[in-house]
A and B are shown apart, each in its own frame.
Chain A
Amino acid sequence: MVMNHSLETRETALEWLVRTNDPQFEEWDEFTMWLEEDAANAAAYHALAASEVAMIPLVATAFPGPKPSRPRFARLAVGSAAAAAAAAVLLVVTPHLMPAEYRTRPGEIRTVSLGGRDRMVMNGDTTLAVSGWSHRTVRLQQGQILVELPEPGPSKVSVVSGDLKLVDVGTVFEVARDGRDTRLLVSDGAVVADPDGARLEVHAGERLDTADGAEVLQAAATEASSVGSFQRGQLAYVDEPLGHVLADLRRSTGLDISGAEAIKARRFTGTLSVTQVKRNPRSLGALLGLSIEQSGRGWKLQGRV
């Protein structure tokens, strides 16, 4: 579907794209009016914007800058025997060639093959891009994935969540990203976190909770059986902060379930059935020991008064 926008429309659209791409742009009313003038304006704007977005990774690969845009943190691994991990780290050369984007709607679960028997299960409301020479680099923008790599091959799979890079060592693991927080749970094998810095090895039965910009990575023990439970429609937790539980519920049910700030740090241990919560959101109150109210289209949890 190649549209022929008049040259003049394209020029004006080009100007708008330059202006709106600037983080300091604020003239949204003016922009709205221009879009409303003619549907061809929006079409021309989006044709240009789509091309630009698609080409950015190629430009980045073809013309690598002098330095990374941001200094890398010299992260420090705490606890685990980091040195042992060094041998397991393979250099992953992955220029970002034509990344493929995947996105699931809230409540949707999708399986993506990573070649051979390797696969990745995406939970709802998840956005990611798969790139690299053989498409083995997964950039998780938001949401939750379960990665299953039964056949450790020469080409590793790496998952990038914010500024954290994870490289598999033949394994099954789950990664969730909400805002700037990353949560990693490993049920089989091991994952090397931040292979270029801290080189923290996270083993089966361990988890890693971190946020973008964190300077220290520390693994902790976890219940391996809860890894990937979203896939089975069951969400299993041991001593999990409620903030995480609610984020998982939003993804899995597609319902707008929120919680008062005050309860997010509370912990939950137990199993939740996605189907049951979907059928009867109100039941969450009793399950989590909180009060629940409907607010607009969503549901809000609060501490019991």
Chain B
Amino acid sequence: MQRQGVHQVFEEHRDELLRYLRAHGAGDAAEDVLQELWLKFVASPTGPIASPRNYLYRAATNLMIDRRRSLVQAERREVEWSDALDRLPGSASVDPGADRALDSRRRLAVVEAELGKLPARALAIFRRHRLEGCTQREVAEAMGLSVSTIEGDLRMVYSLLDELKRKLDEE
């Protein structure tokens, strides 16, 4: 893609993207996020992008998810220990330490137990779609299921993951 082309494509969608970012709650930062999106777009792998509009919306969605996540995390100070990691070198107790590793193992056990309650099919669909990056249609075809079955299973997994995340956060 020519650089000129990139610029044109971006300008073409500028207004609707700004509206989209605001709909996601970007507020006053919408212009900043748009600038970030532009930098991402320029740095994107060269070569033909099948649908630049789709690419831009997807990147915008991911930026907003990251952004809102980090805002919530900062608020909750959920990453308390990673703040400690951030101290200048030479300072004490920067190592997450054994407690942390134990904690991680216990969390993992909780996740294993909870997700184990899901039907194996739902978990397999989630894996193929979200970890291996297959489209829902591809998963449906590979597993001989309808797309609406795939959607239903994914809703179930997402919902459980959300409940599980809240549970882990509360501990």
Are B107 and A59 closer than 8 Å at their CB atoms?
A: no
In the complex the two chains form, what is the Cα distance from A25 to B54 in whole Å? Answer: 8
Cβ-based interface call for A95 (8 A): yes
Are A55 and B161 closer than 8 Å at their CB atoms?
A: yes
Given contacts A35-B23, A69-B133, contact A51 B166 (CB under 8 A): yes
Mark each residue of chain B from 125 to 163: 1 if its CB lies under 8 Å from any CB of chain A, else 0: 011011111011100000000000001001100110110
In the complex the two chains form, what is the Cα distance from A243 to B171 in whole Å? Answer: 48
A54 nearest CB neighbor, chain B only:
B165
Cβ-based interface call for A47 (8 A): yes
Q: Point out which of B20, B51, B89 has the most chain A C-beta atoms below 10 A from its C-beta.
A: B89
Cβ-based interface call for B30 (8 A): no
In the complex the two chains form, what is the Cα distance from A65 to B123 in whole Å? Answer: 10
Residues of A within 8 A of B54 (CB): 25-26, 28
In the complex the two chains form, what is the Cα distance from A36 to B16 in whole Å? Answer: 13
Nearest CB of chain B from residue A49's CB, rounded to whole Å = 5
Nearest CB of chain B from residue A140's CB, rounded to whole Å = 14
Given contacts A59-B111, A261-B2, contact A119 B89 (CB under 8 A): yes
Are A52 and B107 closer than 8 Å at their CB atoms?
A: no
Cβ-based interface call for A24 (8 A): yes
Nearest CB of chain A from residue B135's CB, rounded to whole Å = 5
Given contacts A50-B69, A58-B108, A63-B115, contact A100 B85 (CB under 8 A): yes
Cβ-based interface call for A56 (8 A): yes
Cβ-based interface call for B25 (8 A): yes
A211 nearest CB neighbor, chain B only:
B45
Are A59 and B23 closer than 8 Å at their CB atoms?
A: no
Residues of A within 8 A of B69 (CB): 46, 50, 53-54
In the complex the two chains form, what is the Cα distance from A240 to B166 in whole Å? Answer: 48
In the complex the two chains form, what is the Cα distance from A46 to B63 in whole Å? Answer: 11
Q: Which chain A residues numbered 28 to 84 have a C-beta less than 8 Å away from chain B?
A: 28-29, 32, 35-36, 39, 42-43, 46-56, 58-63, 65, 69
Q: Which residues of A does B touch, CB under 8 Å?
A: 1-2, 14-15, 17-26, 28-29, 32, 35-36, 39, 42-43, 46-56, 58-63, 65, 69, 95, 97-98, 100-101, 103, 106, 110-119, 125, 130, 133-135, 142, 178-180, 247, 250, 256, 258, 260-261, 297
A sample of 23 inter-chain contacts (CB < 8 A) reads A1-B72, A14-B158, A14-B159, A20-B61, A23-B135, A35-B20, A46-B68, A50-B69, A50-B72, A55-B165, A60-B131, A62-B112, A63-B112, A63-B127, A95-B108, A97-B108, A101-B70, A111-B89, A113-B88, A113-B94, A119-B89, A130-B82, A260-B3
